[in-house]
Structure 1
Amino acid sequence: MDIVNYEVFYEARYEYEDVVTTNDNTLKVVPYDGDNQVVIEEKVETEPAGYVTKYRDILGNSVYRVKIIEPHYSMVIRSTSKVRVKVLDFIDCELPCIVHEPMFTDSTKLINVEYFKPIADKIYNGSKTLDEVLHKVVSFVNGKVKYREGVTNVDTPAHKSFEIGLGVCQDIAQITIGILRAMGFPARYVMGVVHDNPRTTHAWIEVKTPNGWVPIDPTRKRFYSEIKYIKFAIGRDYYDASPIVGTFVSKGRGWLKKLTVGVKRV
C-alpha cells in the first residue's frame, strides 16, 4: 500500500454582465475525508467574502455553503488543502463476489440500471473473476463511447450518451456504473482531480469489492493502484457530487470565466 501526501489548489472565477446582489453557492471543492483519504487541513474562501457554513452530507462529503450579499460583478471561489491518500492494492476474487450496498446498486435520475441489463448479462457471461469483468466493461464502454466535449451536458442521462456514442468523463463514468450495477456490483460516481498535471476536475468510479472500494478510471483506462487521484466527492451519480451548485440574483447573465486546479506531491 502506497501513501502519498498532496497539496491541492482549486479556483473558479465567475463574471457577470450586470451587478449581482446575492450569490448563494453549495461547494464540494475540498478533498473527501474518509475511506482511503485523510484531510490534514483545508481552507475555503470567496471574493467577495460571504457567510460560510460547513457540514457533511449523507454520503460523507464535506460541503461548504457560502452566501455573498455584497454587490459584485465577479466572484472567486478558492480552496487550498493538504490530504493524505492511501493507494490500496486490489485483491481479485472469483465470480460471483457480490457485496450488498443498495444505495449504489439502484437506478438514479441519470443512471437507468434496467437499460443496461442486457449489455451487462452479455459481458458477465463467460467471465471468471472480478478483475476480468471490470476490464471487459471498461473495454466495452471505450469501444462504444468516444470522448467529445460539447455534445452532452450535466443533465444528460447515461443511456442517452451511450446511444449518442459521445460524451465526456462524466458520461463515460455513469455508463460504466450503469453496467456494473446491472451486474449487481455496487458502483459509485467520484469527482475530484487527477494527480498528474490536472487541468480541470475529473470523474471516475469506485467499485465495492469484498475488500473495500477500489477506483477505476474508465475514461483513461486506468485501474486500481495506477490511480493516485484526489477525490472531492462521491455520489450515486453526478448530481450528488457536482463541485459547485448555486444561484444568483442579477438582471444579467453569469458564466465561468476560468477554472484552475493544481496538485503538488509533498
Structure 2
Amino acid sequence: MKRLRIEHETGFRYGGDVSASYNEARMLPGTTESQFVLSAALEIEPSTAVNTYVDYFGTRVSAFDVLSPHQALTITARSLVEVRPRPIEHTGITWDRLAVEAARSLETVEQLTQTHRTRPHPEVAELAASYASRHDDPGRAAHEICVAIGDAVEYMHGVTGVHSTAIDAWEARKGVCQDMAHIAIGALRSVGIPARYVSGYLHPRPQAEVGVAVTGESHAWVEWFAGEWTGFDPTNNIEIGDRHVLVGRGRDYNDVPPLRGVYAGPFKSNLHVKVTITREA
C-alpha cells in the first residue's frame, strides 16, 4: 500500500476579460474498495461557490460559475489517498454465463455499446475475436486482448488529440493513454465483454521514494466485466497497482474530462495543466 499526495492544477487563460464562465471539474478521487481518500479539496481562482455532486457513473463532480469579468481561471485539486494493489483474479466465468449476467444490469449493458470514440477498427475487431476464440474464460481473453493492444500501439504525444477516436489511433499505431484505453474498450465490447473507461492518476516511478515530489499527469486505463469488474493499464501493460489513483469512470473520455466548461467572450482560451505526485508512505 502507498499513500500518495496529488496536486493537480489546471485552467484557462483568455486573451482578455471574459464576462462569465460555467464549468465542471472531475479532479477529486473518491473512496473505493481499493483506495481510501484521507483528504480532497478544490481551490478555484477567482473564488466562487462550488456545488458538488456524484454523477450517473459515480464520479465526484464540482460544478461552479464565475460571473464576474476574468482573464484567467485556475482550479487546483489537492488529494491525499491511500492505495492498495488490485491484482487480476479470474473468476472462471463462461461466455454463455457472461452474456446472461451482462444482460441483467444496466451498469454492464451500457458498457457493451460502442461510442464514436471507441468504435473499433476492423483489424482490432478481428484481433479481439481471434483472442476470444482461444479462451473459455472471457476474463483471460480480455487480459490478452489488452496486452496485445498495448504491444501494438506506441506511446507518443502529439500524434493524436483530445478528440481523436480509437480508429484514428489504431491507424497511426501511436497515441497516449486515452487512445489506448479507447482501443481496448472497443475491442472488448466487440466480443461481448462489457468494458469502461477509467480516469485518474499514475505515479510515474515504480520504486518511488518517500517525500520526493515528481511531475505526473492524468492517466487512463480500462476495466472489464467478467463476473466482476477488473482493471488493467494497457498503456504500460501492467495490472492496476498502488500507483494508480482512480477519479472517474464512464463509457469513454467524454464522460470523465478533468475540466469542462464554456465562457462568454470573443477571446480564445489556452489550457494549462500541471500535476505533481508525492509518495508519503
Identify the match of residue 218 of structure 1 among 213, 221, 234.
234
Q: Which residue of 2 aligns with 1:202?
A: 219
Identify the match of residue 30 of structure 1 among 28, 46, 71.
28
State TM-score, norm by structure 2.
0.83
Between the aligned partners of 2:69 and 2:47, the Cα distance in structure 1 is 11
Kept after mapping to 1: 8 A contact 2:8/2:78: yes
Higher mean alpha-carbon deviation, 47-56 vs 156-165, is at 156-165
Structure 1 242/105 Cα, relative in aligned 2: closer, same or farther at 3 Å? same
Between the aligned partners of 2:222 and 2:118, the Cα distance in structure 1 is 13
Kept after mapping to 2: 8 A contact 1:21/1:250: yes
Structure 1 236/258 Cα, relative in aligned 2: closer, same or farther at 3 Å? closer
Kept after mapping to 1: 8 A contact 2:201/2:219: yes
Higher mean alpha-carbon deviation, 168-177 vs 38-47, is at 38-47
Letter of the 2:252 partner, please give it: D
Residues 45-194 of structure 1 aligned to structure 2 (within 5 Å): 45-94=43-92, 96=94, 98=98, 99-100=101-102, 101-112=108-119, 115=122, 116-130=124-138, 132-194=140-202
Root-mean-square deviation (Å): 2.3
SS in 1 for 2:94: coil
Is 1:235 paired with 2:250? yes
Between the aligned partners of 1:258 and 1:228, the Cα distance in structure 2 is 20
The alpha carbon displacement at 1:161 in A equals 1.9
Letter of the 1:108 partner, please give it: T
**Runs of at least 5 residues in structure 2 that lack an aligned partner in the other structure:** 103-107, 205-213
Paired-residue identity, %: 26
Task: State the number of aligned residues.
Answer: 262
Letter of the 1:45 partner, please give it: E
Between the aligned partners of 2:275 and 2:203, the Cα distance in structure 1 is 14
Structure 1 227/82 Cα, relative in aligned 2: closer, same or farther at 3 Å? closer
Between the aligned partners of 2:86 and 2:148, the Cα distance in structure 1 is 25
SS in 1 for 2:230: strand
Kept after mapping to 1: 8 A contact 2:120/2:166: no
Kept after mapping to 2: 8 A contact 1:123/1:133: yes
Deviation string for 1:13-63 (max 9, x for gaps)? Answer: 432211122121100000033343333322111111123111111111000
Between the aligned partners of 1:241 and 1:263, the Cα distance in structure 2 is 23
The structure 1 segments of at least 4 consecutive aligned residues displaced by more than 6 Å after TM superposition are none
Kept after mapping to 1: 8 A contact 2:2/2:242: no
SS in 2 for 1:141: helix
The alpha carbon displacement at 1:8 in A equals 2.1
Between the aligned partners of 1:50 and 1:95, the Cα distance in structure 2 is 50
Structure 1 187/148 Cα, relative in aligned 2: closer, same or farther at 3 Å? same
